[in-house]
Chains A and B, each alone.
Chain A
C-alpha cells in the first residue's frame, strides 16, 4: 500500500514537471518573434497538421512560410505567423482560434483546413471581430457565417459549373450518370452543385449512384452505369475513391469522359489510376503548367525549398498571405482588426499565382478556374 502511494506521487510529480516545462516553452517563441521588427503583424494559422489529412495542412504551412519569407524580404509590411494544429477536429479548431485571438492577439486568421472546422470556428472569430480567411474551405454557406469571414478558396459552386459547361460544349453531352461519396460533407455539397449545373445546361441525369469514403469496390454502381450508356460520368469524391472508380470503370469498358469536383485535382489521382485517369476533367484555380512568370517563379522557389511541386493547397495559402499583406499595407496598421477587415473587403485586381483575384460583396473569391483534362499522364488545359 505504502509502495503504491510512492508510485502515485512520483507519477504525479513527473506529470506536473512535464506540464510546467511545456508551459515555459510557450514563452520562448514569443520573445523570439518580437525581435523580428517593431510593427510585425501577427497572423494566426489554424491547419490540419496531424492526423488523416495532415498532408493538406503541411502543404498550407509550406505555402505560407514561403510567402512570409518573401513578404518580409520585400519589407513593405512585416508578418509573423503563429501556427496551431486543429487535428481536423471541430473542438480543437475552436480552441485554436480562441487561443490565437485571445492569447496571441493576432490581427487576422488563416484557416482552418476543413469546411466543417470553419463552421465551428468561424463564428468565434466573427464574434470577436477578427478577420478569418479559409484557403481550402469550398463548401456552401461558409461566408454566411458573418462579415469577418472570408475565403480565397474557389467554392465548388463556382468551379464545378465551369467544368461541367466546358465538358458539355466540348463533348456535346446529352445524358450523364452521377456518382458521389455520401458520407463526406464536402463531396455531398459538390454533388449538389453538380446536379444544379447539369440542370442549367439541359443535360439529363440517367442515374445517381452513391458510395462512401474509403470504399474500394464500385463494381455494382459502375455495372449499372455501364448498362445505361451515358455520354459522361460525373464524380464528386476525394482523389482516393475517384482514382479507384476510374480504374474500375475503364476495366469494365466505360470509355466516356469523367468530370470531377475538386477532389480530382491532385497529382495523386494520376499516380493511383495510371492510364485509367486519361480523360478525367476538373476545373482548378491552380495549374502549375501555365505560361506565366509569377507561377513559374513560385513553382521554382517552392521546388528549391521543399523539393516538390506545389499543390493547390500550397498555392492558395501562398496567395492568401499575399492578400493579407496587401490589405495590411492598405490598412496602415498591424494591430487594428476592424481596419484590416475593411481593407480586405476592398481587395480587387490582385494578381496571384492562382490568377486574378477579387472578393465579391459576400467575401467569396471572384476568379476564373482553368478546366484541366488528363492527357498522357499529365494535367493539361482543356481547350
Chain B
C-alpha cells in the first residue's frame, strides 16, 4: 500500500492522466481527419487564462478551469474559420504557426509577465486539501497524511474528468455528429455530396479539441505551480501528437494508451540515465516500424474481441 501511495508514483499518475486528456484533445480533431498542431497554443491560452483568473482575480478553481477551456475554444473558432479551409499539411502548418503566435504574444504581454511566467499558482491539491480540512479531515483520512489525501483527490478528479471525456466521446461517435465526423474523415468530398455541412462539423471538432486542450492547460497550470511561455512551445505540440501517433488515432483508447506509455517510459528508464533518451528514441522507431498505424487500431480490437469471444463460447 505504501508503494502505491508513494508521492512519486502519485505524481506520475497525475501527469499520465493529464497527458491522456491532451491525447483526447488531439483525437477529437483527428476524428474528422484534420491534423491540427495548435493544441499547445490552445493549452497555453487555457493555462494562462485560468492562472491569471485564480492568481490575480482570486476566482475559485472550479470556475477558472472551465473559463480557460471556453477561452481556448472561442479562439479556436476565430482562427478556425480561415484555417479550416486548408487541409492536410497546410492546415498543420497554419495551426503550428498559430501556436507560435500565441507563444510570442504571451511573451510580450504585461499581464502574462512575459518570459518570467506566472509563479506561485495555487495547486489543485492544496485547494482540495483546504476543502477537506474545512470538513474536519485536517489530518487526512484513514491514516493517510494530508499530502497523500490531497494527491489522491487530485487523482480522483483527473480520473473522473478523463472518464467523462471517454464517455462523452464514445457517445458522440454513435451520434449524428460522430457519424458526420467519420464520414468527413473517410472522404470529405463524398461527405459534402451527401449533404453534410463539412465546415460546421470540422469547426465543431476543432472547437471541442481546443476546449479539452484549454481545460487540460488550466489543470496543468495548477499541477505545476509555475507556467512560462517555454512550456507551450512547438515541442509540446509534437509531444501531444506522438500520443496519438504511437497509440493510434482510430479509437479514443489509442491516444490514452499512447499518453500512458510515453509518460511512463522516461520515468521507467531513469535508471538508464544518459542512455534514457536513446532507448526512448529507439523504442519509438521500433514501434513505428512494426506498427505504423499506432499500437491500437480497430483491427486490434476486433481481433481480441474475436479471440476472447471464442474462448467464452468454448
Contact = CB atoms under 8 A, between A and B. Distances in A.
B39 to A, nearest CB: 16
Given A1-B299, A185-B114, 4 more contacts: A91-B224, A98-B12, A102-B8, A185-B228
Size category of the binding interface on chain B:
35 or more
A119 B225 contact: yes
A85 B273 contact: yes
A286 B266 CA distance: 35
Given A15-B283, A141-B119, A120 B225 contact: yes
Contact of A19 (B107, B225, B268, B286): B268
Interface of A: 1, 5, 7-8, 10-11, 14-15, 18-19, 22-23, 25-26, 29, 49-50, 83-85, 90-92, 94-96, 98-99, 101-103, 116, 119-120, 123-124, 127-128, 139, 141, 144, 182-185, 187-189
A95 B120 CA distance: 18
Contacts, number: 113
Contacts of A85: 273-274, 276
A22 B267 CA distance: 10
A116 B117 contact: yes
A100 to B, nearest CB: 9
Contact of A22 (B6, B114, B268, B274): B268
A184 to B, nearest CB: 6
Contact of A84 (B230, B270, B299): B270
A11 B291 contact: yes
B115 A187 contact: yes
B255 to A, nearest CB: 18
Contacts of A119: 117, 119, 225-226
A184 B115 CA distance: 5
B271 A25 contact: yes
Interface in B120-179: 120, 123, 147
Given A7-B290, A182-B114, A103 B224 contact: no
B293 to A, nearest CB: 9
A128 B8 contact: no
A99 B8 CA distance: 5
Contacts of B290: 7-8, 10-11
A95 B226 contact: no
A85 B303 CA distance: 41
Contacts of B225: 119-120, 123
Nearest to B115: A185
